[in-house]
Amino acid sequence: MSSITPSNTSSTNTAQEEENHNVSKEEPEELVVQGYCVVMASAITNKGAEHLINKLNKEGSYTVPADLLEKIQAEFTAYYCDDARAEEIMGRVYKEKGYLCDPHTASGWAAAEDYVKETGDNRAMVVLSTASPYKFPVAVLTAIGGDTSGTEFEQMARLSALTSVPVPKNLANLEGKEEKHTGVIEKDAMLEYVLSL
């Protein structure tokens, strides 16, 4: 998995950060990027971007220059949501709003709540739903207090019966079909496997 880590912060969350459910307020001295390339096209030259991409390819990471980091931080903010909070949000949103959301959407909801809490900005906000709750039946059933026993198809049927939200046809139609992709690739072998396809 790729990560973006401020170089002067620890990967272990402090108790206060866990309580606040958002990233450290401490400004990082530099940003170390591993895996994916983060480049703002308007803020860096092609030569500079090429240098960073080459460094990423050769060394596996690069450090974003301080001036670019400042521009990124002026445009973007980030929040996080752990599994426990996602579960709480999925349950609360369903109970209070009647909306059945998945863990990814719950993370977006958490970010929206944290943003409003941090900034006081109460303008209307859109949280885009990024997946179907039926892709995560155990997590969603757990969040709304449902029984998680049985197969994934039994769980989806139970989720639908509890919420009156129909199972998407594309997922329901998978039941009984042959599973075609059963291989498991270790992290270190992924690149070689993908390139061999």
Confidence of residue 37 (pLDDT cuts 50, 70, 90): very low
Q: Tell me the C-alpha distance between 44 and 76, whole Å.
A: 16
For the stretch 61-77, pLDDT in tens is: 888 888 888 888 888 88
Of residues 189 and 1, more confidently modeled: 189
Place of tokens 């949000």: 89
Spatial neighbors of 139 by CB under 8 A, at least 6 apart, are 83, 86, 87, 90, 102, 103
What's the token pair of residue 130? 């990024």
Q: Which two tokens stand for residue 169?
A: 């046809």
pTM of the model: 0.64
In degrees and rounded to multiples of 5, residue 63 shows phi and psi of -105, 130
Q: Identify whether the C-beta of residue 163 lies closer than 8 Å to the C-beta of residue 100.
A: yes
The single-letter code of the amino acid at 183 is G
What letter represents residue 81's amino acid? Answer: C
Average confidence score pLDDT of the chain: 79
100 pLDDT exceeds 90? yes
Q: How far apart are CA 9 and CA 22, in angstroms?
A: 13
What lies within 8 Å, CB to CB, of 166 at 6+ separation is: 160
Q: What confidence tens digit (pLDDT) does each residue in 107-161 have?
A: 999 999 999 999 999 999 999 887 999 999 999 999 999 999 999 999 999 999 9
The answer to whether the CB of 129 falls within 8 A of the CB of 112 is: no
